[in-house]
Amino acid sequence: MTKEKFEEYVRRHPMATLSSIIYEILYDEIVSGELSPGTKMNTAQLAEEINVSRTPIIDAYEKLKEIRFIETSPTKGGYYVSPLYISDFRDMMIVRKALEKTAAYTVASIHNMEHIEELYEIAEKLQAILFDDKYYMQRDLENRFHSLIVESSKNSYLIDAYQSISKRLYRHYYYMDHMSADTANLFVTKEAAYEHIAICKALESGLPESAEKAMERHMDAAMIIYLIHAHKWYS
């Protein structure tokens, strides 16, 4: 974190607390890989660089510990950027699949077609991107597609739970994007190009069980391609 980055964030968020600003910046730097796994957090240096006390920095570290982005070591002391644990990914994907299956079922049940045109548009863009091997363009569209379905459920508790788990998964998605770019055999990823359209059709049909099953197939496929190459990234 640089002084310039910190001051720019303060300008854009004048009502935010120091600890929340530091948290958001460190969160972004960990997700992007700018702060790599195992990096020791230099609290004194950071406090001097951005001209704040250690207290809001420690507060930010503790919040990042809650989502397992930062950890402490009983033997080494201090705060460190956490490794990526495959057990975390598996557990979060199980929860995410349950949430998204429920969302798809709910949207089809209430037949909320408020976002169906945008969902089809995104699905078609994703199909083109995946067949053209432009995987670096996939993530934002993928996130938007799934978020729209959850939002369409109109269930505030489901939406909150999804947003919470997504915030933790973004770091894993960063590595997934890099994995896709480096992987020659992407049959499972290319197969996903058809799955987005299938989900849209199932939602539009108004058949809850079909929508739930289409989402389940898609989430299972995502898990498969991740786990095939997990040894490259995980501790």
Residue 126's pLDDT band (cuts 50, 70, 90):
confident
Count other C-beta atoms under 10 Å from residue 179's C-beta. Answer: 19
Which range (8-12, 57-61, 105-109, 144-148) has the least confidence? 8-12
CATH 1.10.150.120 fits 86-232, yes or no: no
Each residue of 30-82: pLDDT tens digit? 988 889 888 999 999 999 999 999 999 999 999 999 998 999 988 888 999 99
Written as six digits, the tokens of 179 are 């994995």
Of 70, 68, 74, the C-alpha closest to 88 is 68
**151 in Cβ contact with 103 (< 8 Å):** no
- pLDDT at res. 17: 94
Domain ranges of the chain: 3-81, 86-232
Residue 176's pLDDT band (cuts 50, 70, 90):
low
* Percent over 90 (pLDDT), the chain: 55
Local structure of 72: helix, strand or coil: strand
Structurally, at CATH architecture level, domain 3-81 sits in Orthogonal Bundle (1.10)
